[in-house]
Amino acid sequence: MNKEADDQTDVDKPRRRKDERPAEIVSAGISEFEKHGFYRANLNRIAKTAGISKGTIYLYFESKEALFLAAIEQHVTSVMGESEAEMSDGEGTTRQLLTRLLQNMYARFVHGEAQALFRILLTEGDRLPNVISSYHSMTVQRGATLLKQILARGVKRGEVRSSPVLDTPQVLIAPAVYFAVHNMMFKSTQPLDFERFFEAHIDMMFHGVLLTNDM
């Protein structure tokens, strides 16, 4: 009995809510696409999650793909918007700045919701060149620029070696990507210990593995 109230948290919500529907559908879509990607995502399930019937989706979105685009776009902007201002102040040693940047990156990209987005785009990016492109500029592009600034400042202050890394700073954050990828594939069977990995990452990034610095 009381079929309406037991699968959604809200009770007594009105049945006709034109304004709220699109956002609710997009939200349900994000969760479904995160779990299953585009192909395995199921519109009946999305509808059920959103507390509506499948037909209603088509009142607001032209097709599954249109809903997917809307979901991705909203997700990209919301996830990326968050980590905007956090790194803006350039106080501290280069070592501190880089450490803070990495912590931030692991937090968002490895543990947080950005990972699901990353996975979707890695999987289904071919069909979304425009999304891929804006994702690139919001993440890789921006991150690389920020890193270059930090490193250049470090060189000026006499803290940082001049090296090819200055032009390709992605190698510095690569282990974080590795960690995310590893957990995507092996989390259930062979999880990585975050603390140890992070420590090793920091250590290699700052000092390398060799004892001597001569060629």
Partner DNA sequence: GATTTTACTGACCTTCGGGTCAGTAAGAAA
Partner DNA sequence: TTTCTTACTGACCCGAAGGTCAGTAAAATC
Residues in touch with a second copy (CB under 8 A): 37, 39-40, 94-95, 98, 119, 121-123, 125, 129, 132-133, 135-136, 140, 151, 154, 158-161, 163-165, 167-175, 177-179, 181-182, 184-186, 188-190, 192, 196-197, 199-201, 203-213
Pick from 6, 12, 15, 211 the residue near DNA by CB under 7 A: 15
Which residue, chain included where needed, has tokens 């890695």? 122
**206 and 135 Cβ atoms separated by less than 8 Å:** no
* Shortest distance, position 22 Cβ to a second copy, whole Å: 28
* Shortest distance, position 74 Cβ to DNA, whole Å: 18
* Shortest distance, position 5 Cβ to DNA, whole Å: 13
**175 and 197 Cβ atoms separated by less than 8 Å:** yes
Complex with a second copy: residue 6 or 167, whichever CB lies closer: 167
Complex with DNA: residue 60 or 178, whichever CB lies closer: 60
Pick from 26, 28, 30, 52 the residue near DNA by CB under 7 A: 52
Partner in contact with 121, chosen from a second copy, DNA, none, beta carbon below 5 to 8 Å by kind: a second copy
* Shortest distance, position 123 Cβ to DNA, whole Å: 15
* Shortest distance, position 53 Cβ to a second copy, whole Å: 26
Helix axes 64-82, 114-124, angle to 10 degrees: 140
The C-alpha angle with vertex 20 and arms to 16 and 21, in degrees rounded to 5, equals 70
Partner in contact with 41, chosen from DNA, a second copy, none, beta carbon below 5 to 8 Å by kind: DNA
Judged on CB neighbours under 10 Å (0-12, 13-18, 19+), 200 is exposed
The C-alpha angle with vertex 201 and arms to 198 and 202, in degrees rounded to 5, equals 90
Q: Which amino acid, residue 74?
A: Q
Partner in contact with 3, chosen from DNA, a second copy, none, beta carbon below 5 to 8 Å by kind: none
**Contacts with 176 (C-beta within 8 Å, 6 or more apart), sequence order:** 102, 105, 106, 109, 110, 201
Q: What is the rounded distance in angstroms from the CA atom of residue 73 to the CA atom of residue 36?
A: 17
Partner in contact with 168, chosen from a second copy, DNA, none, beta carbon below 5 to 8 Å by kind: a second copy
Pick from 41, 69, 101, 117 the residue near DNA by CB under 7 A: 41
**155 and 166 Cβ atoms separated by less than 8 Å:** yes
Q: Can you tell me whether residue 204 is helix, strand or coil?
A: helix
Residues in contact with DNA by CB under 7 A are 14-18, 21, 40-44, 51-56, 58-59, 63-65
